[in-house]
């Protein structure tokens, strides 16, 4: 499943092809993904110039000179294919630039989405209105977490997955950041000390930044025809390492179900 670093990598990759480009063809090849494509998608985007690319939480933003932004989500399995040599049955939306470059949004499981939102109203779009600060921005600080978590008895792990507290943070990066900061994922969020939060915030930023860097270093592979944007392999200290030795102390990594998902942690290093 694409997480924030994959979406960021995808957006940076798309920018190489789309920034400043005019779209000459916009072709939905089915009715939609998780929900129908906007009825005016073709009308609004055909002939539009792409004036900016960006990301909010796990959504990619393709801003146009029509005052509207195409907002996409990759769901569980979405990716953009660059100049596909052959179109497949999972290529559900095509964008073609004036120079003839074709980009295909491929999403086998169709949990993704495409929406058009007025650019000036993006912050008020329902999916964005309640989002907390971006993990890499200045808004995520120890003071923000201290205030957002005050009095909360839910485990810190689950609170960090709450998009209203931090936007776009997924299971992998929460597990990794808590390990690096030495914080027990089961601890009541409101009882995590200020000192621990001061350790946690830079680790959240670091795990995300490192993953984006790893994704960025794979971007050159997409420059060729039939390249795909969005997925790369990474190494983790605890994520998906049940029973394997802790990279710091050698104790076996534990797995614990929390909120319907697994948490991996070291019982010795995380207090």
Residue indicated by tokens 């039939």 = 226
Tell me which residues are annotated as active site.
2-3, 58, 261
Q: Please, which residue, 54 or 267, has the CB nearer to Zn ion?
A: 267
Find where tokens 């939102």 sit: 117
Q: What minimum distance in Å lies between the beta carbon of 271 and Zn ion?
A: 11
CB 169 within 8 A of CB 204: yes
Give the full edge-to-edge strand order of the sheet including 91-97.
23-28, 91-97, 102-106, 79-82, 227-229
Distance, in Å, from the CA atom of 11 to the CA atom of 54, rounded to the nearest integer, reads 6
Q: With respect to Zn ion, which residue has the nearer C-beta, 152 or 199?
A: 199
Residues that bind Zn ion (CB under 5 A): 246, 248-249, 251, 266, 268-269
- How far is the C-alpha of 158 from the C-alpha of 262, rounded, in Å? 11
Based on CB atoms, which residue is closest to Zn ion, 120 or 249?
249
- Which CB atom, from 35 or from 248, has the smaller least distance to Zn ion? 248
- The least CB distance from residue 241 to Zn ion, in Å, is 11
Q: How far is the CB of 42 from Zn ion (least distance, A)?
A: 54
- b/e 153-172 (16+ beta carbons within 10 angstroms → b): eebbbbbbbbbebbbbbbbb
């Amino acid at each position: 499943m694409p997480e924030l670093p994959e979406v960021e990598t995808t957006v940076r990759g798309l920018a190489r092809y789309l920034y400043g480009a005019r779209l000459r063809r916009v072709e939905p090849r089915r009715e939609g993904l998780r929900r129908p494509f906007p009825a005016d998608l073709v009308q609004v985007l055909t002939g539009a110039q792409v004036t900016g690319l960006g990301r909010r939480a796990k959504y990619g933003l393709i801003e146009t000179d029509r005052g509207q932004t195409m907002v996409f989500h990759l769901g569980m399995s979405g990716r953009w294919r660059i100049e596909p040599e052959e179109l497949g049955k999972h290529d559900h939306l095509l964008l073609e630039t004036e120079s003839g470059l074709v980009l295909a949004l491929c999403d086998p499981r169709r949990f993704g989405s495409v929406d058009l939102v007025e650019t000036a109203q993006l912050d008020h779009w329902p999916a964005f209105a309640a989002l907390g600060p971006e993990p890499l921005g200045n808004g995520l600080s120890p003071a923000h977490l201290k205030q957002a978590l005050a009095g909360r008895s839910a485990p810190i792990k689950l609170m960090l997955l709450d998009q209203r507290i931090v936007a776009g943070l997924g299971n992998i990066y929460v597990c990794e950041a808590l390990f690096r900061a030495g914080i027990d994922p089961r601890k009541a969020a409101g009882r995590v000390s200020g000192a621990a939060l001061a350790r946690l915030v830079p680790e959240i930023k670091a795990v995300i930044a490192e993953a984006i860097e790893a994704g960025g270093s794979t971007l050159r592979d997409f420059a060729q025809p039939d390249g795909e944007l969005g997925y790369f392999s990474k190494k983790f200290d605890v994520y998906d390492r049940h029973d394997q030795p802790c990279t710091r102390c050698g104790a076996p990594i534990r797995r614990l179900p929390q909120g319907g998902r697994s948490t991996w942690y070291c019982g010795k290093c995380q207090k």
